[in-house]
């Protein structure tokens, strides 16, 4: 056992037992961040804040929500929206945050792609981030089932049908997932469990992994500069704050994080109170009705691009393309053959690839929502093919990239 002395202060008492000073140094004051980064580097903090908003609002909603097909819609739209004081506020915060969190995730992801932040020892950051994307997607989908409105029911029907895997006709698997022939009580109860327990646990574990993966390779910077963190941090600690290329995580970078968070929250709460329709789809305010298919069934906006990769093809090819789209981002660190970990603007053909991918995904997103008719089907098909071609071409266009 370690040697304990009589504590001289509360801090000393805690220090002897928990090494709080050491922890504070490791986690904050001597966690070194490069100075040459822009506000896009604050998206991690924005995501953490949004996740906290989701967690807190979710806890309040959980106190009144009833995971029962007879009561679920009522518990959301009457109990929470009308009866419980500020229940509407928690629901709006939860619904809007669930949608906005994906906007920030996409910005965070494309920032990583643009600056090459998945290379040279940062592969695990990318992988854990993509796993977070997958678990967040599952979390969003399972949460969308809970109000048991028309879109919950029919989205649940369509998405679980995907698991029959087209020509393989694995209908037994679909029934096993649903616990019934159609989405019903067993389905709602298990998605409720996934949404409030298993998936949040997985997300919290993965957030831990994501942060841990960042420790050794350090945060990337906007110039692709190789920084000697030991030398630069010594310089900082010696008093040359202005001359050092690095800064403390707290309070130096934290202050900038909070500035971005402040601006983000203005945007966020504006959406919560005044522009929430995009996140709380009107169709889902009709109670689930298995005998009445809505005229247009579409997923939430953040799933539209992958939905549109599934949709323009025949069933089996569509499923293969969809499967491709789900895993391909994960492989980015190896598909990009260039060792250059610098901004895309300095990488020639890769810069073109980056902007084409971004635009293609926006086109896919738009076509995923629009009815698949005439012109829109054609554009959707071309955009889906372009997505596949872009990823297949990536190793070839990065293979011969010049040293930047």
With beta carbons less than 8 A apart as the criterion, state whether 207 and 51 touch.
Answer: yes
Minimum distance of another protein from residue 258's CB (angstroms):
4
Cα-flanking dihedrals φ and ψ of residue 387, to 5°? -60, -45
The site map against another protein for 241-270 (x = CB under 8 A) is: xx----x---xx--xx-xx-xxx-xx--xx
Q: How far apart are CA 256 and CA 33, in angstroms?
A: 12
Binding another protein by CB under 8 A: which of 81, 165, 209, 357?
81
Binding another protein by CB under 8 A: which of 23, 70, 88, 378?
88
Binding another protein by CB under 8 A: which of 18, 27, 78, 201?
78
Query: Which strand (E) or helix (H) includes residue 58?
Result: helix 43-62
> 3-state SS of the chain: helix, strand, coil percent to 5?
70, 0, 30
Q: Which of residues 95-154 bind another protein (CB under 8 A)?
A: 103, 107
Q: Which of residues 53-72 bind another protein (CB under 8 A)?
A: none
Sign of CA dihedral 246, 250, 255, 256: positive
Provide DSSP, 225-281.
Answer: ----HHHHHHHHHTT-TTT-SEEEIIIIIHHHHHHHHHHHHHHHHHHHHH--TTTS-
For residues 180 and 240, which CB has a smaller minimum distance to another protein in the complex?
Answer: 240
For 175-220, the three-class secondary structure string (H helix, E strand, C coil) is HHHHCCCCCCHHHHHHHHHHHHHHHHHHHHHHHHHHHHHHHCCCCC
274 binds another protein (CB under 8 A): yes
Instruction: List Cβ neighbours of 273 (8 Å cut-off, separation of 6 or more).
Output: 92
For residues 172 and 277, which CB has a smaller minimum distance to another protein in the complex?
Answer: 277
For residues 105 and 319, which CB has a smaller minimum distance to another protein in the complex?
Answer: 105
For residues 116 and 333, which CB has a smaller minimum distance to another protein in the complex?
Answer: 116
Sign of CA dihedral 27, 28, 32, 36: positive
Binding another protein by CB under 8 A: which of 121, 208, 282, 290?
282
For residues 212 and 352, which CB has a smaller minimum distance to another protein in the complex?
Answer: 352
Q: How far apart are CA 218 and CA 211, in angstroms?
A: 10
Binding another protein by CB under 8 A: which of 121, 205, 208, 371?
371
Please tell me the total number of residues recorded for the chain in this structure: 404
Stretch that binds another protein, among 48-56, 171-179, 209-217, 274-282 (CB under 8 A): 274-282
| Residues in contact with another protein by the rule CB under 8 A | 35-36, 38-40, 77-78, 81-82, 86, 88-89, 92, 103, 107, 222, 241-242, 247, 251-252, 255-256, 258-259, 261-263, 265-266, 269-270, 272-274, 277-278, 280, 282-287, 295-296, 301, 304, 358, 362, 365-366, 369-371
């Amino acid at each position: 056992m370690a040697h304990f002395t009589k504590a001289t202060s509360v801090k000393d008492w805690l220090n002897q037992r928990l090494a709080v000073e050491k922890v504070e140094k490791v986690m904050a004051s001597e966690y070194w961040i490069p100075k040459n980064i822009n506000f896009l580097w604050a998206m991690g903090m924005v995501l953490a804040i949004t996740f906290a908003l989701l967690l807190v609002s979710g806890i309040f909603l959980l106190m009144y929500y009833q995971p029962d097909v007879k009561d679920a819609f009522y518990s959301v739209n009457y109990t929470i929206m009308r009866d419980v004081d500020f229940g509407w506020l928690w629901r709006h915060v939860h619904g809007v945050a669930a949608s906005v969190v994906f906007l920030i995730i996409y910005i965070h992801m494309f920032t990583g792609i643009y600056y090459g932040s998945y290379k040279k020892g940062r592969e695990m950051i990318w992988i854990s981030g993509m796993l977070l994307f997958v678990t967040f997607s599952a979390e969003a989908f399972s949460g969308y089932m809970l109000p048991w409105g028309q879109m919950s029911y029919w989205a649940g029907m369509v998405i679980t049908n995907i698991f029959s895997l087209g020509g393989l006709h694995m209908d037994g698997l679909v029934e096993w997932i649903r616990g019934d022939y159609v989405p019903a009580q067993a389905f709602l109860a298990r998605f409720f469990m996934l949404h409030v327990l298993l998936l949040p646990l997985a997300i919290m574990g993965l957030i831990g992994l994501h942060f841990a993966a960042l420790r050794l390779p350090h945060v990337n910077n906007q110039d692709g500069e190789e920084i000697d963190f030991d030398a630069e941090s010594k310089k900082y600690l010696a008093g040359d704050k202005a001359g050092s290329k690095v800064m403390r995580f707290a309070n130096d970078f934290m202050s900038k994080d909070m500035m971005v968070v402040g601006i983000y929250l203005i945007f966020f709460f504006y959406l919560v109170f005044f522009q929430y329709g995009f996140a709380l789809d009107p169709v889902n305010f009709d109670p689930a009705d298995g005998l009445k298919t809505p005229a247009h069934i579409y997923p939430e906006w953040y799933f539209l691009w992958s939905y549109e990769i599934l949709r323009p093809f025949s069933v089996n090819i569509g499923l293969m393309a969809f499967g491709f789209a789900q895993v391909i981002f994960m492989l980015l660190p190896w598909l990009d053959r260039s060792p250059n970990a610098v901004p895309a603007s300095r990488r020639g053909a890769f810069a073109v690839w980056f902007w084409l991918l971004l635009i293609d995904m926006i086109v896919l997103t738009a076509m995923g929502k629009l009815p698949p008719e005439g012109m829109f089907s054609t554009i959707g098909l071309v955009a889906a093919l372009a997505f596949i071609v872009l990823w297949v071409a990536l190793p070839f266009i990065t293979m011969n990239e010049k040293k930047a």
